[in-house]
Amino acid sequence: MPNIVIVGAQWGDEGKGKVIDILAPKVDFIVRYQGGNNAGHTVVIDKESFILHLVPSGILHKGKICVIGNGVVVDPKALLEEIEMLRKKGISVEGRLFISEDAHVIFPYHRKLDELKEMKTRRIGTTKRGIGPCYADKVARSGIRVIDLMDETVFKDKLRSNLEEKNLIFSRIYGVEGYSFGSLYREYLDYAKKIRKYVRNTTILLNDAIKRKKSILFEGAQGTLLDVDHGTYPFVTSSNSTAGGASIGTGVGPTRIDKVIGIVKAYTTRVGEGPFPTEFDDAFMGVIRQKGKEFGATTGRPRRCGWFDSLIVKHSVAVNGIDEIVITKLDVLDGLESLKICTGYRYKGKVHDNFISGVKALDDCEPVYEELPGWEEDTSRVTSYSRLPVKARNYLKRIQELVDSKIVLVSVGSDRKQIFSKRA
C-alpha cells in the first residue's frame, strides 16, 4: 500500500472519516497533520457512530498505529476526554497512539480569545475552540509545545510570559478578567503527566517506518476551501488543510507521498460565514439538510447546502495534486426531478470557468448552471456502480469530466458498507 494523503476537496465535511476508516486496514500508520479539535470525523459501524476530533480515525482498527503530528494544535483536556470515550467503547489506544512533541498546545486563554474576537470583529464562524489563537502564537514564536509541557521549568517560564501578555489583552482591549498562573500551571502539569506516555519525536517515528517499508495514511481535516492560503480567505481555518500540509505537519518529505485522494460530496456544503455561490434557498436547503443530516459533528451547527460547484473542486484538484476522487452522499440526491452543476461564475459581465479567489467577487458572482435529469430510484441499497440508475451514472460522469480527475469510489450512505468501487 502506498503512502496516501486524504484531503477534503470542498469546504470540509465531505466524509473523510468514512474513507479513512475503509482504507485504514490496508496501511500501518494513520496520521493527523493539521487542525485541532475543530475537526469532526464520523465513522458509523453497525449503526453506532464514532465522532473523533483529535485521535485519527484509524484507531478503530486493531493493531494500527495512530499519530497526531506536529502540525496539529492539541487541547489536552479534549484529547484525554476522547481517549476515555474510546476506552469506554472498548477501544484501547495504549501503544497505538503517539503525539508529536512539537505539536502546539491549546490553553483556555486561546479559547477565550477566539470567542471574544468572534464577538467583537467581523464574524468568521469559528468553532471557538481556540485553534486560530493557538496557531497565531505558533507563528509569533510564543507558543507552548507539548515538549515544553514535559519540562516543568521551561513550561513555568513560558506560561508566565504568555499570561502576562494575554491578561493585558483581556483587561485593556476586551475589559474582561484574565487567568491565574497558579491554577493553569497546576492543571496543565496534570495533563502533562497523563499524556507523557504518548509523546514521541514522531518525525523520526514516521520516517523510520517508511524506511521499513511501512505504509502511511495522512488524515486531513477541514477542506481545501478552508486552507489558510488556498481557501476563501479570511473565511478559512488557520492551517494548511491542503495536501501540502501533510509534509509540513508531519516531517515526512513530499517525495515520500505516493498519492492524493480527494473526498467530494455529491453536492456542496459549508459551515460558518463566507461566500457560497451555489447556496440553495432556505426551503430547499431545509430539505437537503434534513435528508443529508447536515449538522456539524463538532459544533452541531446546521451546514449551509448548495448545488455541486465544479469550479471549487477543479481548484482543489490543482492545488492538492489530486489523483483520484471519492464521491460521498450520492443517495441524498435521490428523488430529485433535476440537478444542477455549477460550471462557471458570471462576474461583471464575464463568465469565468475557474475558481475566483477574491471573496467579494465570489460573493457577487452569479453561478452558471448546467442542468441534468435526476433519478427516482433509491440508491442507498445499491452495492455496485453498474447497478446505479443510468441518470446517476451520467451525473457522476459529468462531474468527472468537469473536475478533470477520475472517480474511484462512490458512497451511498453513512455506514462503512455503503460504498463501492467505480472501477467496474
Active site residues: 13, 41
Strand order in the sheet with 406-411: 199-200, 97-100, 65-68, 29-32, 216-219, 4-8, 259-265, 324-328, 406-411, 419-421
Angle at 44 between CA 38 and CA 49, to 5 degrees: 60
Half-sphere exposure of 345 (CA within 13 A, CB side): 23
β-pairing, 41-45 vs 48-52, is: antiparallel
On whether the CB atoms of residues 338 and 374 are closer than 8 A, the answer is: yes
CA-CA distance, 235 to 154, in Å (whole number)? 35
Q: How far is CA 227 from CA 57, 219, 223, in A?
A: 21, 15, 7
Is the omega angle on the peptide bond into residue 234 within 30 degrees of 0, that is, cis?
Answer: yes
* Amino acid, res. 144: I
On whether the CB atoms of residues 314 and 403 are closer than 8 A, the answer is: yes
CA-CA distance, 133 to 125, in Å (whole number)? 14
CA-CA distance, 367 to 346, in Å (whole number)? 6
